[in-house]
């Protein structure tokens, strides 16, 4: 039964023609996520290696009206961390009167209070979901599927 649901979700996600931006300072993590997204037919528009770069690329996408549907955000990065980048991205969405994109925090070493802060619906980050590294395809699909398939 679980596998059937999994395949259905996978198919539904694939049919959405979604786009994404991957934010992580480790190249290997980009490769893994890109592999998953390729299988889901989610186009990777941008890859950023720190929060500042993510904000710049996001801003350019807004300007060109090509904002990604999904952002995967690492928390622990140099120059600007994922929390600050997420806050700024949410701020840009507000300033440009855009619906919030699907913000997925992906991190390896997080304490519960940090996770709760990111997921707080009234907070500055308002992440849609949190996944612990290393991420696997099943977790990604059920996380995206449960929220995106219903919402989009």
Query: CB of 145 within 8 A of CB of 14?
Result: no
Q: Which helix (H) or strand (E) holds 63?
A: helix 51-63
| Residue ranges with strand state E in 40-144 | 43-48, 70-73, 102-107, 129-132
Query: CB of 80 within 8 A of CB of 47?
Result: no
Q: What is the pLDDT of residue 146?
A: 76
> How confident is the prediction for the chain on average, in pLDDT?
91
Q: What is the pLDDT of residue 28?
A: 95
Query: CB of 127 within 8 A of CB of 118?
Result: yes
Q: What is the pLDDT of residue 110?
A: 79
pLDDT tens-digit series, residues 107-144: 987 789 999 999 999 999 999 999 999 999 999 998 99
**Confidence band of 152 (pLDDT split at 50, 70, 90):** very low
Q: pTM of the prediction?
A: 0.93
Q: What is the pLDDT of residue 61?
A: 97
Query: CB of 40 within 8 A of CB of 14?
Result: yes
Q: How many CB atoms lie within 10 A of CB 30?
A: 18
Q: What is the pLDDT of residue 1?
A: 45
Q: What is the pLDDT of residue 9?
A: 85
Q: What is the pLDDT of residue 5?
A: 77
Decide if pLDDT at 4 tops 60.
Answer: no
Among residues 152, 36, 27, the alpha carbon closest in space to that of 99 is found at 152
Percent of the chain with pLDDT over 90: 78
**What are the percentages of helix, strand and coil residues in the chain, rounded to 5?**
50, 15, 35
pLDDT tens-digit series, residues 41-76: 999 999 999 999 999 999 999 999 999 999 999 999
Query: CB of 106 within 8 A of CB of 82?
Result: no
């Amino acid at each position: 039964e679980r596998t059937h649901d999994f395949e259905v979700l996978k198919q539904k996600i694939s049919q959405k023609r979604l786009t994404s931006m991957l934010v992580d300072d480790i190249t290997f993590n980009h490769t893994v996520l890109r592999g998953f997204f390729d299988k889901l037919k989610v186009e990777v528009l941008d890859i950023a290696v720190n929060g500042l770069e993510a904000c710049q690329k996001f801003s350019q996408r807004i300007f060109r009206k090509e904002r990604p549907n999904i952002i995967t955000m690492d928390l622990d990065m140099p120059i600007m961390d994922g929390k600050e980048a997420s806050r700024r991205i949410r701020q840009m969405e507000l300033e440009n009167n855009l619906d919030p994109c699907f913000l997925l925090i992906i991190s390896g070493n997080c304490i519960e209070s940090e996770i709760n802060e990111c997921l707080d619906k009234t907070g500055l980050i308002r992440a849609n979901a949190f996944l612990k590294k290393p991420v696997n395809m099943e977790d990604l699909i059920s996380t995206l599927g449960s929220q995106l398939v219903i919402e989009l």
